Amino acid sequence: MTGEINSKKGESNPEERSMIYDLLRKFLLAGVGTVVLAQDEIENFVEKMVEKGELAEKDARKLVREVIDRRKEGAKKAEAEIDKRVEDTLNRMNIPTKADIEALSNKISALTKKVEELKKPGA
């Protein structure tokens, strides 16, 4: 029937993909927001300790720098894990990756070139 959407196992319609994308986007943005808030809280806490004289300013800067460096390392690991999970999800949904599309585009270009060569007179 025209307009009917097939719902084979492993396939999703555009509405489902959009919903999944929106949920994933909200989840990732919430994570980023949490990291920013945590870093702000750490910096405020260390600043208060300096003001109270419980921590030297030099040590405070070093501590904040260490926290930021560790956060960056953790963010890189988290980003790699998120990339892997998103890729796995896209594979389960049968959504082609950018690399898949580029490979197909290259094959189409090569085939088009061959067809054009075969159309030339005397070929």
Q: Which two tokens stand for residue 113?
A: 């070139």
Backbone angles phi, psi at 3, to 5 degrees: 85, -10
Q: Check residue 17 and give its pLDDT.
A: 67
Contact 92, 10 (CB under 8 A): yes
Q: How confident is the model at residue 70 (pLDDT cuts 50, 70, 90)?
A: confident
- 69 closest CA partner among 58, 61, 59: 61
Which residues lie closer than 8 Å to 90 by C-beta, 6 or more apart?
97
The pTM is what?
A: 0.41
Of all residues in the chain, what percent carry a pLDDT higher than 90? 15
- Rounded-to-integer distance, Cα 69 and Cα 67, Å: 5
Amino acid, single-letter form, for residue 2? T
Stronger pLDDT, 39 or 109, i.e. the higher one: 109
Domain spans, the chain: 14-95
Q: Check residue 4 and give its pLDDT.
A: 40
